[in-house]
Chain A
C-alpha cells in the first residue's frame, strides 16, 4: 500500500494537517504549525528569557498566545509577584489579547476550553504538562517545556515526533458516583505510570459516549500520568453541545480510520469499576476506596484542572449538603474558574460548602502543587481531587496525598478518613 492510503489515527491526521501533508508515519519527526501556545506564571518567565534570545522581537501571532497566571497567583510571595509582573509586562508589550489577570483568570486547563480558545482538530502546545486536557475536545494537545514555548511563540512552529496510539475502549454502565476520575485512575492503575510513554491515548467506547464533557476533561487531563503525549476523545454530540455557545463552529473534526493501526487496544468494562483512590506516591497505585477506610486524613482538597469543574462541585455539594466536615480536618474547595465559581454560587453550592465548614478559595492551582493555600506539614495526609501524589507534591516530603474523585473527597471530608458516599449520606 502506498503511504498515502494507509489508515491513520486522529493524532496522525491532526499532525499531518498541521505540516501540510496527507499522511505522516509513526516515529517520523515533523515541523508543524501550532494553533495555540500557552504559558503560565511558572513556565513562561523562562520562556520569555529564551524568546528574547531568538531575536524576532515580536511573537508570531498575538492572538494565538494564551497567558495565565494561575500557579502562584494571586501572588503568593514576593518572588511570585516578580514572576507575574515579568509575564504581565511581556503580555502588554506584545499586545497579547488572551492574557487573563486574576479576577478573570481560572486554572488554565479549565479556562481555555470554557472560553472556546481550544477547538477540535487544533494542534496545541503549552508549557504545562496537563495541556493534554484539551484532547477531550478532539484536539492534539500536549505539554512542552519553556524553550519549546519560546520557539513556538517566535516562529509558530515546533518539532514533533509522530506517536504510536493506544486505544482504550470503555463499555458497560457506570455505577453510582463514578466519574471520569475513577475511569482514568483505574486505567493508569492498569497500565502503570509509563504505560503510554510517548504514546497517544485514544479514549472511546459506548461508556465514553455517555460521559459528560467535565469527566472527559478529567480523563484527558491525566493522560500524562500514564506518560501519554495526547489523550484524545472523538468529537460527538456532547462535544458539539459544549462548543455550541463557545465557538462559531469553524473547526475541523478528525476521526481515526476504522482500520487504523494501534499499538494496543484495551477493553475495559466500566460496570466493574468502583470508586477509586490512588495511594501515595504514584497515580498508578489505584485501589478501591472501600478498601482504604482505615486511612485517617488531615486535609481534603477539591479543585484543580483535574476536578475543579461544575460536575465536581455539584457532586461535592450533594454529599456535603446539611453535613459538617469532621472536626479534625481542613477542607479546601477551589472552583477552577471565575465562571464556575459564580455558577456554584448561584446554585447554592458555595453556601453548602461554607455551612459545612469548608474553605472556598478564588481559582488558583495553590495546594495542587504544594504552592500555597493548603500546604501539608510533615506526617500529614490529604485526600485530593488533583492529579499527582508524588513525594512532597503537596508540601513536606514526609506528607502524603491520596488522589480521588469528588465523591470520595467529599465523603472523606465528613468522615475524617477515606470514605465512600454511602457511609455518610
Chain B
C-alpha cells in the first residue's frame, strides 16, 4: 500500500483528552466523534484535514486514556497514517486493531515539517519526504501485527482465524 499525502505536524505528548475530550465520550458514533477530533489542541484541524491527511508528531503520541474513540475519531476524520517519534502503548495497539497505520520513527518525525508532501510505502517500509527530497527507511512491523493490518484489523483477523 502506497499513500501520497500532505502533513499536519504536532508536538510531544499529544494526549487522548485533547484528541477527543471525555465530554464527547457519551457516544460511539464515529462521525460524531470525528466532528470533535483534536478540539482540545487545534481548532482548525477539521479544515486542515481536508487537505492534509498524515499526522506527524513527537514523543508519546496518544498518551492517556485507553479510549479507542481517539484513533477512531482520527481515522474517521480521513487521516491515512500517523508518524510519531514514539506512541503510547495503548494508542499504538488500538490504532493497529482498528486498521489505522501508525509508524514510529524518531528520525522522520523530527525531520518532516508541517505541510510537507510525503509518499509512504507501508509494504517496503519507506517514507519519502517529497518536499524536502529525503527518504527514511522504517523498521517493518512484527509479522503478527502485519497480519492484523493485512486482515484490515483485529476483528477480521480473529474471524478468519476462527473460521480456519
Q: Using a CB–CB distance below 8 Å, which chain A residues touch chain B? A: 29, 42-43, 45-46, 49-50, 53-56, 71-72, 76-77, 79-80, 82-83, 126-129, 131, 143-148, 150-151, 154-155, 159, 161, 193-194, 197-198, 224, 227, 229, 282, 369-371, 375, 388, 390-393, 397
Contacts and interface: CB of A to CB of B under 8 A. Distances in A.
B142 A146 contact: no
A122 B145 CA distance: 25
Contacts of B65: 128-129, 369, 388
B21 A193 contact: no
B3 to A, nearest CB: 23
Contact of A193 (B63, B67, B153): B63
B63 A227 contact: yes
A411 B159 CA distance: 55
B28 A46 contact: yes
A56 B158 CA distance: 11
B1 interface: no
Nearest to B61: A194
Given A146-B68, A369-B22, A194 B40 contact: no
Contacts of B69: 42, 46
B21 A370 contact: yes
B155 A53 contact: yes
Given A127-B66, A128-B66, A147-B155, A197 B89 contact: yes
A194 B154 contact: no
Nearest to B156: A53
B67 A43 contact: yes
Contacts of A391: 15, 17-18, 40-41
A123 to B, nearest CB: 16
B60 A194 contact: yes
Interface stretch (B46-54, B90-98, B125-133): B90-98
Contacts of B25: 42, 71-72
Contact of A392 (B40, B59, B94): B40
Contacts of A393: 17, 22
B68 A54 contact: no
B123 interface: no
B42 to A, nearest CB: 11
B18 A390 contact: yes
A408 to B, nearest CB: 23
Given A45-B28, A77-B26, A227-B88, A148 B93 contact: yes
Contacts of A49: 28
Contact of A54 (B23, B64, B86, B162): B162
B28 A129 contact: no
Interface string B11-29: 0010101100111011110
A194 B92 CA distance: 14
Interface in B132-149: 142, 144-145
Contacts of A45: 28
Contacts of A154: 158
A371 B25 CA distance: 9
A74 to B, nearest CB: 13
A371 B28 contact: no
20 contacts: A29-B142, A29-B144, A42-B22, A46-B72, A53-B155, A54-B158, A83-B28, A128-B66, A129-B64, A129-B90, A144-B94, A147-B68, A147-B94, A193-B60, A194-B13, A370-B23, A388-B64, A391-B17, A392-B40, A397-B21
A193 B13 contact: yes
Contacts of B26: 42, 72, 76-77, 79-80, 82-83
Given A145-B93, A151-B154, A391-B17, A43 B68 contact: yes
A151 to B, nearest CB: 5
The residue among B13, B17, B88 with the most chain A CB atoms within 10 A of its own CB is B17
Nearest to B143: A29
Contacts of B60: 193-194, 197, 227
B27 A79 contact: yes
Nearest to B39: A397
Nearest to B87: A197
Nearest to A365: B22
A151 B13 CA distance: 28
Contact of B66 (A43, A197, A282): A43
Contacts of B155: 50, 53-54, 147, 150-151
B64 A390 contact: yes
B116 to A, nearest CB: 25
Contacts of A197: 60, 86, 88-89
A150 B98 CA distance: 12
B159 A55 contact: yes
A332 B84 CA distance: 38
Given A147-B154, A150-B155, A390-B15, A42 B89 contact: no
A147 B153 CA distance: 9
A8 B28 CA distance: 41
A199 to B, nearest CB: 9
Nearest to B32: A79
B154 A148 contact: yes
Contacts of B68: 43, 46, 127, 145-147
Contact of B159 (A54, A126, A370): A54
A254 to B, nearest CB: 21
A154 B21 CA distance: 29
